[in-house]
Chains A and B, each alone.
Chain A
Amino acid sequence: MESNVASGTHRERTELLKAEHIDKRFGITHAVNDVSLTIAPGEIRALIGENGSGKSTFCQMLCGIYTIGGGTFTMDGAEIRPRNQVEANRLGVSIIVQEMGTLSGLTVAENIFLGHETPFMHWGIKDSRAMIREAQRLLDEYGFGRIKAGAVIDHYNFEDRKLVEIVKATYMKPKILIVDETTTALSQNGRLELYKIMDATRADGRSVIFISHDLREVLEHSDTITILRDGEYIDTVNARDVGEDDLKRLMVGREIGSAYYRADYGEPISEEVVLSVKDVTVPGQIDSVSFELHRGEILGFGGLSECGMHDVGKAVFGASWDRDGSVMLVKDGQAYLAIDSIPTAIRNSIAYASKDRDNESIIVNESIRNNVVLPSLEDLAEKHLLRNKKLTRFAQEHSGRMQTKMQNVHQFVSELSGGNKQKVVLARWLGKGSDILVLDSPTRGIDVKVKQMIYALMDELRKQGRSIIMISEEIPELLGMSDRILIMKDGRISGEFRRSQDLSEEDLIAKMV
């Protein structure tokens, strides 16, 4: 690289974006810690790191989704500090996100031009026809002509909506295009379209920041690779000079492998079945799913985000509004009780931690104490009467056991970090003494330390003979923790794997797409 050439005009050409001392904290989590890097024009820069390493947070500050906690971004020699995504677009930064980035209820055209309607406004009235015409022209130009600009976005499936997002993010030819783990949501064809757009951006002298967990894809499609770990900048390497193993070592950096996930392989799974799920169907979500959960087993569920695995968790917990088929508790080979409502599930020792932690797992506008005791009130009551002292002691005991960082148990959950919220969720179910735990995305948005603790806890619970259903979008987590893995696709179970060191991410992905 020719970064030490000092002439002013030349520098503008070798540095499109310069990030200096970028910093961000969320409560006690230091998400991005003093990261500096520069990106040249016409460069595809991959950003890799484990979950929680800060790569998405970094990009979301660059494109105005989060406010910049500290440091500066300089583009083309001028500092940029976008306050929202629309402003970032105007400054020349746009992003394609991992999750759903389109708004339902609006047309395809309205989604594409969201925040950029001005050219279509005449005297305060929107010219929908011109907007649709322009959107259709763009779609045709990208080769996505089968998508109709005038149709409501909800007519299209997840992948097509992703394509609409791609058009939305790139039609104005941003100087920096951020692709944030988008490829996991796309089929092979969609991926090829995206690579084409990335290449075109590079050929134009503009740049791409490419976030992906798929190291092969990273090596194939990027020029340079920056590695982040726990929010810190580790290194930047040339894609040409390294291999997958080098990247993995840089990403993990320490003796994690064995200490992070459970270490054992080849332990037999108990023959004893504790829960039997038969032909469970939830219209539009899951389609005749059947499986058995064994005693002391961690059963992993994996798949793409809309494959229905999250709804399996809800179905097992009796929380689906509309469910066919049966979920039965089993003892000594005999199915003895149907789980058909949440209270039945809780009373019979089933616990559930939702992916949507703030809405479904925990009442954020309540105290830690009242959250921890809520499922256990029946057990804590003496002759139907509750005593505050007893409730407080119960909450202290169990949140203390989880090492929750808090002032006291009367603190409101809304003031806690994501990791500590999850500790409160786990504390309440440990307090309830549940034997079957359904954990949906248990380490979602949680930093490495708490993650490690949750994994250790899961391993301990397993050894105590409790059973865990772990639904996860993170393949390494599935591979590292599960005794068995069920992969789902389009609402059905599409594959089953046994715990093994030889199992690779590719094996699982092959069943997902």
Chain B
Amino acid sequence: MEKRIDKEPSGVLAFFGSDTFKGLLPFIGLVTVIVVMNVLTEGSILQPKRIRLLLSQVYYPMIVATGVFFVMTLGSIDFTEGSTLGVASIVVSVLSFHSIPLAILGGILTGAAIGAINGFFHVRFKLQSFIVTICTMYLFRGVCAYLTTETAVPASPAIKALDSNELKIGITLAVLFAAWFLFRFTRIGNDVKAIGSGETAARFSGVRTDRMKFLVFVAAGALTGLAAFVNVIKVGSITATAGNQLETQILISLVLGGLPITGGAKVRFSNIVVGTLMYTVLNNGLVMLGLESAMQQLIKGIVFLIFVALTIDRKALKVIK
């Protein structure tokens, strides 16, 4: 009389529902997107010139995504990347007339300060990060618009002269390596994942949850500040729309990369790299196909929805902190 109620589906279905498949999905997705885009654009997306262009669009989102990866692992969310990048870019540009190292430091500190504001309200007042960062997103977008009302903010020629793929690749790889090291070999990775999987239990296991959450928001802001430097090198002058919609781009990238939107134990560091690459290829491919921007958005929306539905961990589902 043995009856098992919660029977797992067997065979092929079980494989598609399994964690193994969910883990592979981003890689499958990345290859599929590259192949499909290559066919649709008749091979032009894989030309060396194109690849270089693609890569030039990958650097600063990847740096930003690295910080947001930690935020989302906590089970929180951050919507301020776009406006942080805008404000920090202005700071970098203005300071670039004095000294380049000062500009870099200024960018990082600006980002960290905005992250600290987010973290403070999120942790101290126990507000959901979702609410806090939507508010600060508008706040700093406003600051950015105010500073650029008269005219675009130019950067010094010295900083524009730094524009080289080597430097940008170097910075991006250094950030990725450092973050991977912290995530994998120090207790930061364990603590952040533990908070994402179960904050109360993590606190009762000795994790300093509040401090860790605050620091992660500061770090994410600082990385966006660093990305602002890379952005200024590339664009040279800052307008009111700098970094516009960056937050959605990062969110979509990470989810495409397989990051569970609830954070926690099942995140993989590879989510950052795979996701950012996939988003960039998809985005470029759609542009090259000559689709209208409305159509591009529609397609991106559909792909995003499908990925969320496939990768989300329903057992761990709860409101985003």
Q: What residues of chain A have their CB less than 8 Å away from a CB belonging to chain B?
A: 21, 23, 25, 34, 67, 69-71, 317, 319, 342-343, 345-347, 352, 354, 359-367, 370-371, 373-375, 377-378, 381, 384-387, 412, 414, 428
Neighbouring B residues of A377 by C-beta, 8 Å? 187, 190
Contact B265 A361 (CB under 8 A): no
The complex places the Cα of A114 from the Cα of B255 at a distance, in Å, of: 40
Bound complex: CA A129 to CA B202 (Å) = 46
Which of B185, B203, B265 is A319 in contact with, Cβ under 8 Å? B203
Contact residue among B1, B185, B202 (Cβ-Cβ distance under 8 Å from A363):
B202
Q: A342-B206, A370-B193, A385-B185 are in contact. Are A21 and B201 (CB under 8 A)?
A: no
29 pairs from A and B in contact (CB 8 Å cutoff): A25-B2, A70-B1, A71-B1, A319-B204, A342-B206, A346-B206, A359-B198, A359-B200, A359-B201, A360-B200, A362-B201, A363-B194, A363-B198, A363-B201, A364-B197, A365-B265, A365-B313, A365-B316, A366-B265, A370-B193, A370-B265, A374-B207, A375-B205, A375-B206, A381-B186, A386-B185, A386-B187, A387-B185, A414-B315
A384: chain B residues within 8 A (beta carbon): 186-187
Return the contact of A367 from the options B5, B200, B207, B265 (Cβ within 8 A): B265
Q: In the docked arrangement, what's the CA distance between A365 and B200, Å? A: 12
Beyond contacts A342-B203, A375-B206: 5 other A-B pairs, Cβ-Cβ < 8 A, are A346-B205, A366-B264, A371-B205, A375-B205, A384-B187
Q: Which of A34, A346, A370, A381 interacts with B194 by CB under 8 Å?
A: A370
Contacts of B265 in A (CB 8 A): 363, 365-367, 370, 412
Query: Which chain B residues numbered 104 to 156 have a C-beta less than 8 Å away from chain A?
Result: none
Determine if A361 and B194 form an interchain contact, defined as CB atoms under 8 angstroms apart.
no
Pair B5/A363 contact, Cβ less than 8 Å: no
**B3 at the binding interface (Cβ < 8 Å):** yes
Highest count of chain A CB atoms <10 Å: which of B1, B190, B197: B197
Do the beta carbons of B1 and A366 come within 8 Å of each other? no
Q: A361 contacts which of B193, B201, B313 (Cβ < 8 Å)?
A: B201
**Contact A374-B205, Cβ < 8 Å, known A70-B1, A367-B265:** yes
Contact of A386 among B186, B203, B316 (CB under 8 A): B186
> CB-CB < 8 A to B2: which residues of A?
25
Would you call A354 and B204 a contact (CB within 8 A)? yes
Contact assessment for B204 and A352 in the assembled complex, using a CB-CB cutoff below 8 Å: yes
Q: Are B206 and A343 in contact (CB under 8 A)?
A: yes
**CA separation between A21 and B1, bound complex, in Å?**
9
Q: B52 on the interface (CB 8 Å rule)?
A: no
Q: Would B190 and A374 count as touching, CB distance under 8 A?
A: yes
> Which B residues are CB-close (under 8 A) to A363?
194, 197-198, 201-202, 205, 265
Contact B187 A365 (CB under 8 A): no
B5, B198, B206 — most chain A CB neighbours (10 Å): B206
Known: A319-B204, A346-B206. A365 touches B198 (CB 8 A): yes
A202 smallest CB distance to B (angstroms):
34
Interface residues of A, dominant DSSP: mixed
Contacting pair A378 B187 (CB below 8 A): yes
CB distance from B284 to the nearest CB of A (A): 36
Give Cα distance in the complex from A364 to B205, angstroms: 13
For B152-194 the 0/1 string (1 means CB < 8 A from A) is 0000000000000000000000000000000001110010011
Q: Which of B186, B193, B265 has the most CB of A within 10 A?
A: B265
Interface residue B50 (Cβ < 8 Å from any Cβ of A): no
B208 near A: Cβ within 8 Å? Answer: yes
Residues from chain B with a CB closer than 8 A to the CB of A67 are 5
Q: How far is the CA of A145 from the CA of B9 in the complex (A)?
A: 54
CB distance from A380 to the nearest CB of B (A): 9
| Cβ B202 vs Cβ A374 within 8 A | yes
How many angstroms between the C-alpha atoms of A354 and B202 in the bound complex?
A: 13
Q: CB-CB < 8 A to A414: which residues of B?
A: 315
Tell me which residues across on chain B come within 8 A of A387, comparing CB atoms. Answer: 185
- Could you tell me the distance in whole angstroms from the C-beta of A354 to the nearest C-beta in chain B? 6
Tell me whether B187 and A366 are in contact (CB under 8 A). no
CA distance A387 to B186 in the complex (A): 9
Q: CB-nearest residue of chain A relative to B189?
A: A386
Q: How far is the CA of A120 from the CA of B198 in the complex (A)?
A: 41
A68 to B185, CA, bound (A): 47
Tell me the bound Cα distance from A191 to B90 in angstroms: 73
Residue of B3, B5, B204, B313 with most partner-chain A CB within 10 A: B204
CA distance A71 to B265 in the complex (A): 39
Check if B198 sits within 8 Å of A366, measured CB to CB: yes
A360 partner, pick from B5, B201, B207, beta carbons under 8 A: B201
Collect the chain A residues with CB atoms within 8 Å of residue B202's CB: 363, 374
| B264 / chain A contacts, CB cutoff of 8 Å | 365-366
**What is the bound-complex CA distance between A342 and B203, given in angstroms?**
7
Q: Output the nearest chain B residue to A30 by Cβ-Cβ distance.
A: B2
Q: Which A-chain residue is minimally distant from B202 (CB atoms)?
A: A363
Residues of chain A contacted by B185 (CB below 8 angstroms): 385-387
**CB closest residue in chain B, given A380:** B187
Instruction: Report B268 CB to chain A, min CB distance, Å.
Output: 14
C-alpha spacing A207/B207, complex, angstroms: 52
Q: B315 to chain A: which residues have CB within 8 Å?
A: 365, 414
Q: Are A370 and B190 CB-contacts (below 8 A) given A67-B5, A70-B3, A375-B206?
A: yes
Q: Which residues of B contact A34 (CB under 8 A)?
A: 1
Q: CB-nearest residue of chain B relative to A359?
A: B200
The 9 closest A-B pairs by CB, nearest first: A363-B198, A346-B206, A365-B197, A374-B205, A363-B201, A377-B187, A366-B265, A366-B197, A363-B197
- A69 with B186: CB separation less than 8 A: no
In the complex, what residues of A have CB within 8 A of residue B204's CB? 317, 319, 342, 352, 354, 360-361
Q: List B200-236 residues whose CB lies under 8 Å from chain A.
A: 200-208
Closest to A391 in B: B190
Select from chain B the residue with minimum beta-carbon distance to A353: B204
CB-CB nearest in chain B for A362: B201
Chain B residues near A381 (CB-CB < 8 A)? 186-187
* A364/B198 in contact, CB under 8 A: yes
Chain A residues near B5 (CB, 8 Å)? 67, 69
Nearest chain B CB to A128's CB is how many angstroms away?
A: 29
> How far, in angstroms, from A361 to B204 measured CA to CA in the complex?
7
| B205 cross-chain contacts in A, Cβ below 8 A | 346, 363, 371, 374-375, 428
Q: Give the distance to chain B from A347, nearest Cβ to Cβ, in Å.
A: 8
Residues of B near A347 (CB, < 8 A) are 206
Inter-chain contact A343/B208, CB cutoff 8 Å: yes
In the bound assembly, the distance between CA atoms of A342 and B3 in angstroms comes to 43
Q: Please measure, in the bound complex, the distance between the C-alpha atom of A229 and the C-alpha atom of B206, giving whole angstroms.
A: 39
Q: Are B200 and A366 in contact (CB under 8 A)?
A: no
By a CB distance below 8 angstroms, the chain A residues around B198 are 359, 362-366
Q: Which of B282-321 contact A (CB under 8 A)?
A: 313, 315-316
Report B-chain residues with C-beta under 8 Å of the C-beta of A23.
1, 3
Which residues of A have CB within 8 Å of B193? 366, 370
Q: How many whole Å from B191's CB to the nearest CB in chain A? A: 8
Minimal beta-carbon separation of B310 from chain A (angstroms):
19
Alpha-carbon distance between A385 and B3 when the two chains are bound, in angstroms: 47
Closest to A344 in B: B206
B contact residues around A69 at 8 Å (CB): 3, 5
Q: Which residues of A contact B203 (CB under 8 A)?
A: 319, 342
